[in-house]
Copies of this chain bind each other. A is one copy, B any other.
Amino acid sequence: MSPYGDIEVMMLIRTPQDIGALLRERRQKAGLDQAELARRVGVSRQWLVEVEHGKPRAEIGLVLRALNVLDIPLEVGTPRYATGVADTPGIDIDAIVDAARKPQ
């Protein structure tokens, strides 16, 4: 089998989906259901459901609180100029997509 035991290789957060997946995974590993985590974070269960599904317009403050409650530290990494597909910095791929705002 592959080398990395249960060492998570190094997760990068780039999108709301990443956040959602992370939260859900860690919540389950912590043995909490949505209702309980929501309660601890101080949000509605509905909110958690949507965020775990990658809601892009969730409030950053609440998201950070959820991460803190689950004891998930967010670190600022050093820029890697060749990680996965490079978004040419200077030209705004993402910003263009933005114009066509996803309805959820």
A residues adjacent to B (C-beta < 8 A): 8, 10-16, 19, 22, 39-42, 55-61, 63-65, 68-81, 83, 87, 89-90, 92, 94-96, 98-99
CB-CB under 8 A for A57 and B56, given A79-B73, A80-B73, A89-B69: no
Asked if A60 and B19 make an inter-chain contact with CB atoms under 8 angstroms apart, the answer reads yes
Chain B residues positioned under 8 Å from A70 (CB to CB): 89
The 9 A-B pairs of least Cβ separation, nearest first, read: A42-B95, A56-B61, A73-B77, A42-B98, A13-B74, A11-B76, A57-B59, A75-B77, A71-B79
Chain B residues positioned under 8 Å from A95 (CB to CB): 39-42, 65, 69
CB-CB under 8 A for A68 and B40, given A58-B59, A61-B57: no
